[in-house]
Structure 1
């Protein structure tokens, strides 16, 4: 029952992210904050997987975290990079480099690689094989880094 509730909550969260992005009038500052929340939540779940890989491996925890990452990756977050979200707005700060918005084909390729890696991590996590999870986890990290290295400004 907990698993069903968790999946429902996750589904609602993913729908909220993608639904918010397609709403007609989401202010650029709100788009930045929503996408940052999604990335922060994915990062937190990556941390949970890393802790399991470094310590006692709990397959249920890892599977839940991997499913969360995959759901957010597939939620349509690209729509949260709309016009006007390429710069700070008031006290809302973004780390996206302007080059991101000038290289959409490359961004699309990197995003596709990330989604594929996240989907694979969720698939592998379901097997409970810690070694395979470690490899898939590394692939997700590499896909994140590929985009960050090119399109994320250093703080």
Structure 2
């Protein structure tokens, strides 16, 4: 009897030990997602900021307009996916409205992706006036989403 109880206790302990990393991994994955999207959004901001200086004529680097636009578009097409359920806590500027008003958030992200595609098309054309117009439209999409779904 004691041997069975000991075996049961050891088995229960091993199961609990084996399950511990799994339970922690879910939390860690959410933390990792938050850190990931924070870094991606910082890089998006970096591309927008760099492109702004070129569009404004403050720097050259016109040869980097298209790569910046392509990076903005690539990120924009994945933005909604970077806010999965369960990543609404911790060190994030994301408002809870993202999850409670999901359809509106998804639409805002889709609008940004469409505007980013327009920016890429303008960049491919090489006309700085068209690039400037598309860049302003992209900026409006970013601002609209930030106003609704990002903490200050």
The TM-score with structure 1 as length reference comes to: 0.75
Residues in 1 aligned to 2:120 and 2:149: alpha-carbon distance in whole angstroms: 26
Residues in 1 aligned to 2:124 and 2:53: alpha-carbon distance in whole angstroms: 17
Matched residue count: 126
Residues in 2 aligned to 1:78 and 1:113: alpha-carbon distance in whole angstroms: 11
Q: Which runs of 5+ in 1 are unaligned?
A: 1-23
- Deviation digits for residues 67-89 of structure 1 (CA, Å, limit 9, x no counterpart): 11111222x3323212321121x
Moved more, 135-144 or 53-62: 53-62
Cα deviation, residue 118, structure 1: 0.5
Is the CA contact 1:118–1:140 (under 8 Å) kept in the aligned structure 2? yes
CA root-mean-square deviation: 1.7
Q: Which residue number in structure 2 is paired with residue 64 of structure 1?
A: 67
Q: Which residue number in structure 2 is paired with residue 110 of structure 1?
A: 108
Is the CA contact 1:57–1:130 (under 8 Å) kept in the aligned structure 2? no
Residues in 2 aligned to 1:79 and 1:137: alpha-carbon distance in whole angstroms: 23
Residues in 2 aligned to 1:84 and 1:104: alpha-carbon distance in whole angstroms: 13
Q: Which residue number in structure 1 is paired with residue 22 of structure 2?
A: none
Residues in 2 aligned to 1:77 and 1:151: alpha-carbon distance in whole angstroms: 12
Residues in 1 aligned to 2:59 and 2:100: alpha-carbon distance in whole angstroms: 44
Residues in 2 aligned to 1:123 and 1:144: alpha-carbon distance in whole angstroms: 18
Q: Which residue number in structure 2 is paired with residue 3 of structure 1?
A: none
Residues in 2 aligned to 1:106 and 1:140: alpha-carbon distance in whole angstroms: 18
Is the CA contact 2:93–2:150 (under 8 Å) kept in the aligned structure 1? yes
